[in-house]
Amino acid sequence: MTQPSRISAGLYLHIPFCVSRCLYCDFLSTTLGSEMQSRYFSVLRREILHAASLGFGKKYRILSVFFGGGTPSLPDAMLIADILDTIRSCFELAPDAEITLECNPGTLNDEKLHMYRKAGINRLSIGLQSADNKLLKSLGRIHDFETFRREYTAARDAGFQNISVDLMYDLPGQSRVQFRDTLRQVLSLPDPPQHLSAYSLIIEPGTPFWERYHEDAERKALGDCPLFLPSEDEEAGMLSDLKSILSGTSFHRYEISNWTLNGFESVHNKGYWERRPYLGFGLGASSQADHMRWKNTSDLNEYLSCSFARKESTHLSRSNEMEETMFLGLREMKGVTRQHFQEQFGVSMDEVYGRVLSNLTELHLLSDDGSAVRLTDRGISISNVVLAEFLLD
């Protein structure tokens, strides 16, 4: 009897430890030290074994593993290596599986980097954010640009050939000149990264930045000139600088906030945009599979008591999945093909979204070549508004 073929999926591991809290950050992370970190990893290991006991290991073939945080490069590298061993014992990993570790400068060293390589990690995503030391300090980052440069070089020396660098723009007090300088510094590294992510700052409730800047962010949203944040024009200027500087390189934009050299697109993130199933392990981690989305507890003590019960479990209706196919798929520059939509849902894209497609195309927010629809530059600049049009009743 032939075995049913396994379904391609990604794994996400949340590592919620940081040296200190950045002033803008609302991610789930704590500054608890090595004793708590060891305890956490032993529960993480048990959670993966628990998932395997429920049959997930036999069902999925893993194309990507992503250690996110938090700062996954903070805890002992052996803890990460042990988790990868556990994953391998429970899941079939594709031979060329992308295995990414998110890192922050100030937490890497030669020994760790070699251990990561030995454990099979083949991609690093390094949070630089800015090359301007004053801005880094104002964000509450623990590192300066020199630390980043030293550890980046060490990562190359350790053999990492696939490195992504994260940048931020629209920061309080940031000028276009500073942002352009950051880009140039990154691109002129001796062996520049293969992948860049650039996100504009979002002022999140509950953070020190919220206290300082939310009124300013509101002013800006209402069309008034902000006092601390870059103005709308400056923000648009930074994005346009990003596009024009990268257009003179071999990078291409493949998603609203992501640029890459050919062949270095993030397999894991593409999985999210293309709605591949994923299983999340660790504090507050989300999973999506079998028309369901669920979340782990965000309470550290509850998680440490090995409570792996699903929280916020939601059934995804066919309409939900159509909406997500459109608004996640349109984040990618290749857009969404009519064929893909038809194969997924057995109904044509035009039957479901005909009027939305023609309205957005008429407004030059969407381009439509008959086989695929994509956001135009104008559509990207107001993508939140455009993508919301794909919500069904």
What residues line the site for ligand SF4 (CB under 6 A)? 18, 21-22, 25, 27, 29, 69-71, 104, 127
CB of 94 to ligand SF4, least distance (A): 28
CB of 21 to ligand SF4, least distance (A): 5
Rounded to 10 deg, the angle between the 77-90 and 34-53 helix axes is 0
User: Strand, coil or helix: what is 233?
Assistant: helix
CB of 75 to ligand SF4, least distance (A): 13
CB closer to ligand SF4 out of 16 and 379:
16
CB closer to ligand SF4 out of 19 and 189:
19
Residue 7 forms beta bridges with which residues?
A: 60
Whether 311 contacts 286, CB under 8 Å = no
CB of 204 to ligand SF4, least distance (A): 10
CB of 125 to ligand SF4, least distance (A): 11
> CB under 8 Å, gap of 24 or more: what pairs does 270-276 form?
270/332, 271/9, 271/10, 271/63, 271/64, 272/10, 272/328, 273/328, 273/329, 273/331, 273/332, 274/328, 274/329, 274/332, 275/321, 275/324, 275/325, 275/328, 275/329, 276/8, 276/9, 276/10, 276/63
CA angle in degrees (0–180, nearest 5) for 167-168-170? 155
What torsion do the CA atoms of 69, 327, 312, 319 make, to the nearest 10 degrees?
A: -160
CB of 106 to ligand SF4, least distance (A): 9
Q: Are strands 311-315 and 7-15 parallel, antiparallel or unpaired?
A: unpaired
CB closer to ligand SF4 out of 75 and 127:
127
CB closer to ligand SF4 out of 277 and 282:
282
94: which 2 tokens? Answer: 């594709």
Helix, strand counts (H, E) of the chain? 16, 15
User: Strand, coil or helix: what is 158?
Assistant: coil
CB closer to ligand SF4 out of 18 and 113:
18
CB of 156 to ligand SF4, least distance (A): 22
* DSSP letter string, 98-137: EEEEEE-TTS--HHHHHHHHHHT--EEEEEEE-S-HHHHH
260, containing H or E segment: strand 258-260
Length of the chain: 393
CB closer to ligand SF4 out of 62 and 168:
168
340, containing H or E segment: helix 338-345
CB of 71 to ligand SF4, least distance (A): 5
Measure Cα distances from 105 to 3, 9, 28, 136 in Å. 45, 29, 19, 11
CB closer to ligand SF4 out of 29 and 257:
29
Q: How far apart are CA 38 and CA 365, in angstroms?
A: 49
Q: Who contacts 175 (Cβ-Cβ below 8 Å, separation ≥6)?
A: 230, 234
CB closer to ligand SF4 out of 71 and 194:
71
CB of 197 to ligand SF4, least distance (A): 13
CB closer to ligand SF4 out of 201 and 380:
201
Q: How far apart are CA 375 and CA 336, in angstroms?
A: 10
CB closer to ligand SF4 out of 86 and 182:
182
CB of 209 to ligand SF4, least distance (A): 11
